[in-house]
Amino acid sequence: MSEINTQVAIIGAGPSGLILSQILDLNGIENIVIERHDRAYVEGRIRAGVLEAGTVELLEQAQVADRMNREGLIHKGIYLAFDNKSVRVDLAQHTGGKTVMVYGQTEVQKDLFDAREARGGVIHYQVDDVELGDLESNRPHVDFTQGGEPARISCDFIAGCDGFHGVSRTSIPANQRRDFEMVYPYGWLGVLSETPPVADELIYAAHERGFALCSMRSKTRSRHYVQVASSEKVQDWSDQRFWDELKLRIPEEYASTLKTGPSIEKSIAQLRSFVCEPMRFGNLFLAGDAAHIVPPTGAKGLNLAASDIYYLSNGLIDFYGKGDSAGLDGYSAKALARVWRAERFSWWFSQLTHRLSESAFDHRMQLAQLEYYTGSRAGSSVIAENYVGLPF
């Protein structure tokens, strides 16, 4: 077995793992990343596209923001559509000028890989049989195989950034953690297409047939979604059926100008809310989807991962730079406080915009809520403050 030593072992080369790796490297802290897939697979995953101001600042701190600042789209508002009309919620007006950045996670991932390669970052791809050991000691380790050859990374700390299905969370003994979960009875059917956006900002549509979202990745590439039952299959949805359904759920002013085209990617995402407590066990720290999942309605997934990394990287920098462990000791409590606030917003915004039952009364109550929140300064502020992101 080959023996490798480092200060921080990072499991997972998604955005949270690579942002952490980059920031630690910039601060002189040795780290190694392991990833069970290859770079092409990780880069190709279609994910979020809305970045909060705090996430943008973190990417700038990590020195990976140049292309994002050139090509990303700054949005100062969103549209809520219902009853065949749309109402704009002015994010900047209600938050003292805060905005969001539309820039696909795929592009963030490319920028991070390029940055780590430029700095000679060590990433072990296509690893198998990952196991974590001695987590409560001052020298935990990560065992894995690569190309059939066993290896061990001995380190001071392990950052579990390996997603919902990774090994990090389940390496915490079941009697030492508590999982909270809600699985929704519906999912999002998403289509990516080389078509111009139908509007200048995102449209969140609540309709009696179900929720719809008109989003974008650039001025020429769009990402659209419709709410479907959990039992639906992608193969049952032709491109034409998808476009026809989307047009039914958005106001006529948008449906009449919507540009359609062949799908580049089409998939169904099951919606769930999930939180693991605590986010630290011994010298293992969970971050991102390894610790929590949110419905995509509020665009909080990648942004929550970013806030985790903000807290964790600062804790590690203080530990190695000042010998101060307060940031690491308080990591789980601080991260979870923000996680639960974001979980609440994502859950609530999903309730506000999705068809929850066949009850006509429920749908009318939903419309009444939408009328209130969009017609009230206080209501619009609630949406705007949460959408742009609570402070890190």
**Which sequence positions are flagged as catalytic?**
75, 204, 296, 300, 387
Question: Token match 């991260």: residue?
Answer: 335
d(Cα 386, Cα 349) in Å, to the nearest integer? 10
Amino acid making up residue 120: G
DSSP classification of residue 171: G
**Euclidean distance between CA atoms 291 and 271, whole angstroms:** 16
Cα separation of 221 and 62, whole Å? 27
Asked whether 183 and 60 are in contact (CB, 8 A), the reply is no
Q: How many CB atoms lie within 10 A of CB 148?
A: 7
Residue entry with tokens 């380790």: 141
Tracing tokens 């003292």 back to the chain, one arrives at 96
Do the bridges between strand 263-277 and strand 292-293 make them parallel or antiparallel, or are there none, so unpaired?
antiparallel
192's CB contacts (< 8 A; 6+ apart) are: 46, 217, 221, 222, 223, 263, 264, 265, 266
Query: Under DSSP, is residue 98 helix (H, G, I), strand (E, B) or coil?
Result: coil
